[in-house]
């Protein structure tokens, strides 16, 4: 199995800073739980420090970037969790499903080892009305991610009881994932920023360069600001990011 972040995860922890508003929203879903498994944990950006947590991550490069004070980590994959049944109160899977080789198997493994609740951060590819980056400049990103993220109805159907929480993205989001810079378009032209966006490294570089060249031209001419003037006074918008909070059964 190819571990994507062994190749693209260089300096990931320096490029991606957890946003405190997203931390608050995620941690509120597990506030009453004690033992937590974080699957696809990466460098540990959204791990609460008041829980008994174990991180599982397939990439040695990402594990090496976890801070010294981070929760203990295990190198492994979602599809074959190295834990006994009913080992944890809760499970986290935060923007990781699209990297799994078998989502059904990974979710079944989570349900096997978690007794109470799963919190999954994912993306709804049908909720892209405000997502100007993929609508007008790099549609290849939609083609990539729509094929990797599970459809919301399909995901919800995998649980007996689940609810969906919209995750609005702040205009000054500190975590540099793909949708973070919706009000700061110049950032997408920054080579440093681009390194922290995994999807930028997984589509055709010709398509990426072509789309960003159009964006640069529209910024220089003022077209972007005229077209998206309605976004410039908003504090947060919906870009399709969602939390699924489900009973682990």
Q: pLDDT digit of tens for each residue in the chain (249 aa)?
A: 444 444 444 455 566 788 999 999 999 999 999 999 999 988 888 899 899 999 999 988 888 888 888 899 999 999 999 999 999 999 999 999 998 999 999 999 999 999 999 999 999 999 989 999 999 999 999 998 888 899 999 999 999 999 999 999 999 999 999 999 999 999 999 998 998 898 898 899 999 999 999 999 999 999 999 999 999 999 999 999 999 999 998
> Residues 64, 66, 70, 75: what is their CA dihedral angle, to the nearest 10 degrees?
-50
SS3 content of the chain, % helix, strand, coil (to 5): 40, 20, 40
Give the strands of the sheet with 35-39, arranged side by side: 73-75, 52-57, 35-39, 88-94, 114-123, 241-247, 162-166
pLDDT given for residue 146 in this prediction? 84
Q: Bridge partners of 101?
A: none
pLDDT given for residue 8 in this prediction? 43
> Residues 188, 209, 5, 180: what is their CA dihedral angle, to the nearest 10 degrees?
20
Within a 13 Å sphere around the CA of 121, how many CA atoms are in the beta-carbon half? 21
Closest C-alpha among 23, 25, 49 to residue 36: 49
d(CA 30, CA 227): 40
Q: What are the residue ranges of helices labelled H in 189-233? A: 191-195, 205-221, 223-227
* CATH superfamily to which 4-247 belongs: Vaccinia Virus protein VP39 (3.40.50.150)
pLDDT given for residue 14 in this prediction? 64
Structure tokens at 186: 């110049």
pLDDT given for residue 6 in this prediction? 44
d(CA 216, CA 218): 5
Structure tokens at 2: 């190819």
Domains in the chain: boundaries: 4-247
Helix axis angle, 205-221 to 139-146, nearest 10°: 140
Location of structure tokens 């420090």: 49
């Amino acid at each position: 199995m190819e571990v994507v972040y062994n190749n693209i995860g260089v300096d990931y922890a320096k490029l991606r800073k957890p946003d405190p508003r997203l931390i608050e929203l995620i941690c509120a879903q597990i506030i009453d739980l004690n033992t937590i498994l974080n699957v696809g944990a990466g460098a540990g950006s959204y791990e609460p420090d008041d829980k008994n947590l174990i991180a599982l991550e397939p990439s040695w490069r990402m594990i090496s970037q976890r801070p010294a004070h981070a929760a203990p980590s295990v190198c492994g994959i979602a599809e074959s969790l190295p834990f006994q049944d009913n080992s944890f109160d809760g499970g986290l899977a935060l923007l990781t499903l699209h990297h799994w080789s078998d989502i059904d198997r990974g979710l079944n493994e989570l349900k096997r080892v978690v007794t109470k609740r799963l919190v999954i951060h994912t993306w709804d590819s049908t909720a892209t009305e405000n997502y100007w980056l993929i609508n007008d400049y790099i549609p290849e990103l939609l083609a990539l991610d729509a094929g990797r993220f599970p459809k919301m109805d399909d995901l919800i159907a995998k649980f007996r009881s689940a609810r969906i929480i919209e995750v609005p993205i702040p205009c000054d989001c500190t975590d540099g994932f793909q949708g973070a810079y919706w009000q700061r378009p110049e950032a997408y032209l920054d080579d440093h920023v681009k390194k922290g966006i995994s999807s930028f490294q997984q589509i055709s570089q010709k398509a990426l360069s072509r789309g960003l060249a159009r964006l640069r031209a529209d910024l220089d001419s003022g077209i972007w600001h005229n077209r998206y003037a309605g976004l410039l006074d908003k504090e947060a918008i919906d870009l399709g990011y969602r939390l699924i909070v489900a009973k682990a059964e």
